[in-house]
Each structure stands twice: as structure tokens, then as C-alpha cells.
């Protein structure tokens, strides 16, 4: 285990539902990330938080709403999603010190299916 | 903007043989980091190996090594003595600076490696 956990691991939701994905890191890192992983596409960076402040939002539709209440927890709130939003959503964390040992640690992902 | 390209969607290797996965990238930066990540089926993505661009020496981690050609912007991964447990998706990634002192990781589309017994 890499110290990053995600719940739920699988989620099926209708287009009118509201759900939330949760990510927790136990590594004492300062930065947390949400990625979307679709088949045959590069990982798409969605959001970056540094010390609980959102520092990047890569043109993600407003139906995805992130929340970072503290440096250990990250949420992705989902509302009125579309079928094309079905994907594996990965959370990651990093120290963000910029040093040579800097790297990202990933959670296991939440497999989302939107019907 | 930086880009990462993995031109091999799928590769196969016989157990105990050697395989090389290709990765090229595009950047105007002179100082950066490159990574190979492994994502086994239904398991977490983990770091395999990293390379600092300012180092000329190729990184190695046990059976994994890279061939880093900075001028050609090439960063291939060599897996020696392949094992069944090496079967996974392999992602090449480039790290650049993001906003407010953070760092962005740009990933390629991945190469699925099959290991044949």
C-alpha cells in the first residue's frame, strides 16, 4: 500500500444523482491531485491542491466540484454527470518540495459508471 | 506546453527475456524530471524509476533501467529478466512546475506489457 486510500472503489450513479469521492493520504504530503483515467487516453489532471488551496483547475466542467478540508483529505463532489464521465478517478499526493526524491503516490482509484 | 508520447500501445515479452518500452517528450525546459509508473491490473499505480534531467547517468533499479537521451528527448524503459509480475500498464511521465510552487505531472497514454510464460 502506498498510503493513499480512496472510497468507494466502485460507484454506479444515474445522471441526476449526487455523489462524492473521497481520498485520504497518510504520508504527510502537502499536495493532492485528482486525475481522470479513460481508456486509451493519457491521465487527465483535473485539480491540484497545495496546502488545502486549489492551485490548478484544468478546465474541468462545473459538475465536478473538489473540496480539500485539510491536507490529508480530498473530495470530489459529483452532480448531474454524463455517461462520458465514466472513468477511473485517481487521487494522488506528493510532498511538493521539488527535490529529486519528489514523486506522486497514487490511490487505487474509484471506478465510476454513469448510467 | 509539454507533451509525452508513448507510441507502443501494447508490447509482449517472453518470460526471462528483455523488453524496452519507448517514450518521447517535448519540452523547452532544461531542468525537469521523468518517471516510469507501473499500473498492474486492478491495482495501484506505483513508481518504477525516476530520472533527473541534469544527470547524464541513466537511472537503474534492479531489473529496470532507462536509456535517457536528453538531446533526442527520449526516455525508454528496459526491463531485464522479465517476470510474470511485470505484466501491467506502464506510463511515462514528465514533471514540470505548476502554479503556486506546485508541480504538474504529464502522462503518456501508456503501454500495456504482456509477459508470456
| Averaged pLDDT for residues B104-109 | 88
pLDDT of residue B31: 83
- The four Cα atoms A110, A111, A114, B4 give a dihedral, to 10 degrees, of 90
Of B91, B102, B109, the CB nearest to A31: B102
Q: What is the mean pLDDT of residues B104-112?
A: 91
Across the range B49-58, mean pLDDT stands at: 90
Neighbouring C-beta atoms of residue A51, cutoff 10 Å:
15
Which residues in chain B are contacts of A50 at CB distance < 8 A? Answer: 100-102
Note down pLDDT in tens along chain A; length 115 residues: 459 999 999 999 998 889 999 999 999 998 899 999 998 788 898 998 887 777 777 789 999 999 999 989 999 999 999 999 999 999 999 887 666 667 889 999 999 999 9
Name which of B62, B53, B59, B63 is nearest B94 in CA terms.
Answer: B53
Instruction: Tell me which of A99 and B69 has the higher pLDDT.
Output: B69
Residues found in chain A: 115
- Residue A32 and residue A74 in contact, taking contact as beta carbons nearer than 8 Å: yes
- Looking at residue A83, what is its pLDDT? 94
Buried b (16+ CB within 10 A) or exposed e, B66-85: bebeeeebebbbbbeebeee
For residues B101 and A1, give the distance between their C-alpha atoms in angstroms, rounded to a whole number. 28
Distance (Å, whole) CA B108 – CA B3: 8
Q: Per-residue pLDDT averaged across B62-91, rounded? A: 96
Task: Identify the pLDDT of residue A115.
Answer: 92
Calculate the CA dihedral of residues B60, A39, A107, A61 and round it to 10 degrees.
130
Interface with chain B: mutation pick from A42, A93, A98, highest number of B CBs within 10 Å = A42
Contacts of B4 in chain A (CB under 8 A): 42
Cα torsion A68, A74, A77, A82: sign: positive
Question: How far apart, in whole angstroms, are the C-alpha atoms of residue B96 and residue B73?
Answer: 15
Instruction: Using the structure block, give the residue that is written with the C-alpha cell 518540495.
Output: A97
Give the pLDDT band of residue B26 (cuts 50, 70, 90). Answer: very high
Is the pLDDT at B18 greater than 60, yes or no?
A: yes
The torsion angles phi and psi of B55, rounded to 5 degrees, stand at -95, 130
Measured CA to CA, the distance from residue A24 to residue B1 in angstroms comes to: 30
Phi and psi for A11 in degrees, rounded to 5? -150, 130
Neighbouring C-beta atoms of residue A41, cutoff 10 Å: 12
Amino acid at each position: 500500500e502506498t498510503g493513499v486510500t480512496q472510497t468507494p472503489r466502485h460507484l454506479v450513479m444515474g445522471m441526476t444523482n449526487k455523489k462524492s469521492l473521497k481520498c485520504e493520504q497518510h504520508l504527510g504530503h502537502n499536495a493532492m491531485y485528482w486525475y481522470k483515467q479513460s481508456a486509451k487516453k493519457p491521465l487527465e489532471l483535473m485539480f491540484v491542491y497545495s496546502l488545502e488551496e486549489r492551485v490548478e483547475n484544468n478546465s474541468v466542467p462545473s459538475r465536478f466540484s473538489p473540496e480539500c478540508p485539510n491536507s490529508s483529505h480530498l473530495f470530489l463532489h459529483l452532480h448531474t454527470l454524463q455517461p462520458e464521465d465514466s472513468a477511473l478517478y485517481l487521487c494522488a499526493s506528493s510532498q511538493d518540495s521539488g527535490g529529486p526524491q519528489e514523486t506522486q503516490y497514487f490511490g487505487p482509484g474509484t471506478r465510476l459508471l454513469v448510467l | 506546453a509539454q507533451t509525452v508520447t508513448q507510441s507502443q500501445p501494447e508490447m509482449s515479452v517472453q518470460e526471462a527475456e528483455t523488453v524496452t518500452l519507448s517514450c518521447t517528450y517535448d519540452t523547452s525546459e532544461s531542468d525537469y524530471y521523468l518517471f516510469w509508473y507501473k499500473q498492474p491490473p486492478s491495482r495501484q499505480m506505483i513508481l518504477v524509476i525516476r530520472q533527473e534531467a541534469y544527470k547524464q547517468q541513466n537511472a537503474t533499479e534492479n531489473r529496470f533501467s532507462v536509456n535517457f537521451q536528453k538531446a533526442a528527448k527520449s526516455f525508454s524503459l528496459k526491463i531485464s529478466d522479465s517476470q510474470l509480475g511485470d505484466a501491467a500498464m506502464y506510463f511515462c511521465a514528465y514533471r514540470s512546475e505548476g502554479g503556486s510552487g506546485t508541480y504538474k505531472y504529464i502522462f503518456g497514454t501508456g503501454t500495456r506489457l504482456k509477459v508470456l510464460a
